[in-house]
Amino acid sequence: MTIRILVIDDEREIVDTLTRHFSLLGYEVEGTTEPEEGKAMVERENFRVVIMDIAMPSMSGIDLLRWIKNYNALIHVIMITGALTWENIIACARHGADTCIFKPFNDMTRLEVAVRNAVHNIEEWAVIFEESNRLKPAGQGSYGRRLP
């Protein structure tokens, strides 16, 4: 399974660093400094993981997180920020972020672990969907059998 990652951060250096880093780890990665462009990319393409900044000038990362999770709850979102506050942490948790990681990234270990955890979860859901499709009776939709 190919995992596609989208990086959204208003700092070009962060986008380039994370794009390069995760590409070298074998992921397909794209990035943008524009949240609206990131939103359009999510609609057009099959990203499984989004790594994005909380504080961006043109759109709040929290607002974009809320939109992404509403658009497709199975997209894993890892929030990054240079201004970690209790309000941000609670908003990230409330709106379904996988985690929130403080930058600058002196060490990429926490971010790599967060992506690996997201990939593991994606793989688990893929198995569940595959099993449900094998269980469905003839004539049922693709979501598996009807529960009593």
Q: What is the pLDDT of residue 106?
A: 84
Q: What is the pLDDT of residue 144?
A: 45
Residues 6+ apart with CB under 8 A from 132: 143, 144, 145
Mean per-residue pLDDT pooled into runs of 10, the chain (148 residues): 93 97 97 97 96 94 96 96 88 95 89 96 86 68 43
Spell out the domains of the chain, with CATH numbers in brackets: 4-108 (3.40.50.2300)
Q: What is the pLDDT of residue 2?
A: 85
Q: What is the pLDDT of residue 68?
A: 97
Alpha helices in the chain (DSSP H): 12-24, 35-44, 61-71, 86-94, 109-135
Q: What is the pLDDT of residue 98?
A: 96
pTM of the entire predicted model: 0.86
